[in-house]
Structure 1
Amino acid sequence: MFNEFGKFIKLTTFGESHGLALGGIIDGFPAGLSVNFDEIQKDLDRRKPGQSRIVTQRKEEDKVEFISGIFDGKTTGQSIGFIIKNTNQKSKDYDHNTGVFRPSHADFTYFQKYGIRDYRGGGRTSARETVNWVVAGALAKQLISSIRFHAFVSSIGEITLQKNINELDLNLTESNIVRCPDPKTAEQMIQKIAEIKKDGDTIGGIITCIIKNVPVGLGEPIFDKLSARLAQGMMSINAAKGFEIGSGFAGTQLKGSEHNDIFIQGGKTLTNNSGGVQGGISNGMDIVFKVAFKPVATIMKEQQTIDEKGNVSTIKGKGRHDPCVLPRAVPIVEAIAAFVLADFWLMNKARKI
């Protein structure tokens, strides 16, 4: 159950950070889609480690191998199986914490729950798991190709993108290594991450996602709202600490007369404080949401902790780690959003004669 995501189409994943491979099975994916493998690899390349000086220097090619469900370049309607082999593990980098718990990691909770843990990069708790999500999301993007997903870094620490989203050229997101569509702000963010890395520390931030060309009617009433499923998916990402859609928390400072999205001819609205979702169902406006990410828990500074017997100890990070997850999390946010919308899109198709 806890390795599955989705309802009409379902992704089940497996694998550990320092195991032989990661992978997944996608059930319920329709037959007949011509798969663009280059586009899938492109999204994987956007997520992979070692792509710039401000991310972890672990060198993984992250080449996906499809082992079922695709024949002659088209989906068959059967289970789509895939694997991504690990090729650059350095498990010895974790020998120092075999018996102690890393602060703010899942080490302690997993050990208390299961009585055993994989200390090599956290095993199943590692963000390396998200490589599976990117494969599934890239396929979902091709299924609902008319819907466009644009995620970008909108803040790093106290550095915040000040421009309104309507002023941004989203085509510039991939023009810099931090994936911020404003070059001036991007340079400040890159400098900040470099400084934090040099000091042996880490930093968090916010990713904003805009989804365009969304049809009206995606999402189910009550307990399976579109906004709720997006929140579930985003809050499943490692280091995610907050989710807001539309006006979010800032909307609490407005009066109803200021917050209401007034309808105009054609069913559009003058404003989009709802973030494209009303009553849990898409209303045809752009879906706009934000995801907050904490600083990476592994830092290159000595910290107090406890060992597996409860005794006070110390620990200091070693090896290759991200000083900031934001640049590599952008394609992950898009992938989960695409998978959620594709799931609801198929539900709607199944209802209609």
Structure 2
Amino acid sequence: MAGSTFGEQFRITTFGESHGGGVGVVVDGCPPRLELEVADIQIELDRRRPGQSRLVTQRKEDDRVEIFSGIFEGRTLGSSIGMLVRNEDAKPGAYEDMRDLYRPSHADWTTEAKYGIRNWQGGGRASARETIGRVAGGAVARKVIEHVAGIEVLGWVSAVRSINADVDMHLVSRDQVESDPTRCPDVAAAQLMTTAIEAARKDGDSLGGIVTCVARNMAAGLGEPVFDKLDAELARALISLPAAKGVEIGSGFAGTLMTGREHNDPFVPGADGRPTTTSNHSGGIQGGISNGEDLVVRVAFKPTATISSAQQTVNRNNEAKTLEAKGRHDPCVLPRAVPMVEAMVCLVLADHLLRQQSTDVV
């Protein structure tokens, strides 16, 4: 199976399945002598861990990371960093009814159409549990971009269905985001989101929404012209997340309602000797290259495909059937998607920082 590796200079390869022995990642390209402890990885995994609130899947996993290569005495060696998280609460029997049935809008049918075989126990590589490797690798990438360029990456839930949060992206902090199980820093909106998610769960249904992510103290000059534009790389990274269905950068689709005069970001002299802009409709990227302003992305996530409500489907013999899914699933992926989005942004930025360093004239 191809497609499990992401990045060029800073590269991750994820492995494992949701109901196998475990999941993990191999990180290549991390610079040597970077201070890195298990706690730096674990804090991010804890944020995506299942069972952390009643708003997410109740699968009980500690998700304790084991680092088995690439780090010595609290510093990276420059060699491959191998990390593993063992599955401890897998219940494959809950998926017995799905052995011959295809979940609507899940990867069951498409995987079988491609390979002629599939792991029906939890979805295999299509499970959101695969993102453990991304988040672990993203935690290493976060250390790289903080150390090399002082870049801060922060995400939050900005919408659940039609409930929209009012958040000042220049002032919002991680403490505010983490203060509520929804990971929405707007208290009033978070309460409405909680009510809506709980209602969907009780009704055997699910909800989608939007995660917004910013990268502050951005470096200018990241990204390559044409096919490796920074916004193109971000879009590819983020749309690869499970349940992601759309990516906006800066003004996104709203920019189509503006004129050029309204949308252009005027330049003014900056305090540090480089130009700055009076607005940021570009989302920090112009011509596929970062301009030093805050990078702003939004990711749309569909409602979770696996729900307990009765749904029309077919079996392997193409016979009409009804499916009522069992197992433990997120009624809304948004609260746990925040660290996943942050991880992918960190991975792209770390890769392009190292690519830029390799081309800088000494």
In 1, Cα distance between equivalents of 2:168 and 2:31: 38
1:8 positional shift: 0.6
* 1:195 maps to 2:199: yes
* 1:78 maps to 2:86: no
Match of 2:183 in 1: 179
1:59 positional shift: 0.5
* Partner SS state of residue 228, structure 1: helix
In 1, Cα distance between equivalents of 2:35 and 2:173: 30
1:246 positional shift: 0.3
1:36 positional shift: 3.1
* Partner SS state of residue 276, structure 2: coil
Deviations 1:225-283 (A, max 9, x none): 10011000100000000000000000000000110000001210000000000010100
Match of 2:63 in 1: 62
The 1:318/1:9 distance shift into structure 2, 3 A limit, reads same
In 2, Cα distance between equivalents of 1:142 and 1:231: 22
In 2, Cα distance between equivalents of 1:108 and 1:20: 24
Residues 168, 182 of structure 1: 8 Å contact kept: no
1:37 positional shift: 2.2
Match of 1:255 in 2: 259
In 2, Cα distance between equivalents of 1:122 and 1:181: 32
RMSD: 1.1
Deviations 1:297-349 (A, max 9, x none): 01111111010111111111112110000000000000010011000001111
Residues 300, 316 of structure 1: 8 Å contact kept: yes
- How many residues are aligned here? 353
1:162 positional shift: 3.3
Task: Show the 5 A alignment for 1:14-163.
Answer: 14-145=15-146, 146-163=150-167
1:9 positional shift: 1.4
Q: Which runs of 4+ in 1 moved over 6 A?
A: none
* 1:301 maps to 2:305: no
Instruction: Give unpaired runs (5+ residues) of structure 2.
Output: none
1:170 positional shift: 5.3
The 1:166/1:347 distance shift into structure 2, 3 A limit, reads closer
In 2, Cα distance between equivalents of 1:75 and 1:168: 31
Match of 1:321 in 2: 329
In 2, Cα distance between equivalents of 1:163 and 1:336: 22
Identity between Structure 1 and Structure 2 (%)? 50
In 2, Cα distance between equivalents of 1:163 and 1:66: 37
1:161 positional shift: 1.1
1:217 positional shift: 0.5
Task: Show the 5 A alignment for 1:152-301.
Answer: 152-166=156-170, 168=172, 171-266=175-270, 267-301=275-309
In 2, Cα distance between equivalents of 1:113 and 1:349: 39
* Partner SS state of residue 101, structure 1: coil
Opposite residue 253 of structure 1, the aligned amino acid is: L
In 2, Cα distance between equivalents of 1:165 and 1:250: 17
Opposite residue 92 of structure 1, the aligned amino acid is: G
Opposite residue 185 of structure 2, the aligned amino acid is: P
Instruction: Give unpaired runs (5+ residues) of structure 1.
Output: none
Residues 225, 288 of structure 2: 8 Å contact kept: yes
Opposite residue 330 of structure 1, the aligned amino acid is: V
Match of 2:318 in 1: 310
1:169 positional shift: 5.2
1:290 positional shift: 0.3
In 1, Cα distance between equivalents of 2:174 and 2:328: 31
In 2, Cα distance between equivalents of 1:113 and 1:293: 24
Opposite residue 346 of structure 1, the aligned amino acid is: L
In 1, Cα distance between equivalents of 2:185 and 2:25: 32
In 1, Cα distance between equivalents of 2:33 and 2:40: 17
In 2, Cα distance between equivalents of 1:275 and 1:156: 22
Residues 237, 344 of structure 2: 8 Å contact kept: yes
* Partner SS state of residue 151, structure 1: strand
In 2, Cα distance between equivalents of 1:128 and 1:143: 24
In 2, Cα distance between equivalents of 1:242 and 1:321: 22
In 1, Cα distance between equivalents of 2:293 and 2:209: 26
In 1, Cα distance between equivalents of 2:23 and 2:279: 43
Match of 1:341 in 2: 349
Opposite residue 293 of structure 2, the aligned amino acid is: M
Residues 166, 186 of structure 2: 8 Å contact kept: no
* Partner SS state of residue 15, structure 2: strand
How high is the TM-score relative to the length of structure 2? 0.96
* Partner SS state of residue 207, structure 1: strand
* Partner SS state of residue 78, structure 2: coil
The 1:157/1:315 distance shift into structure 2, 3 A limit, reads same
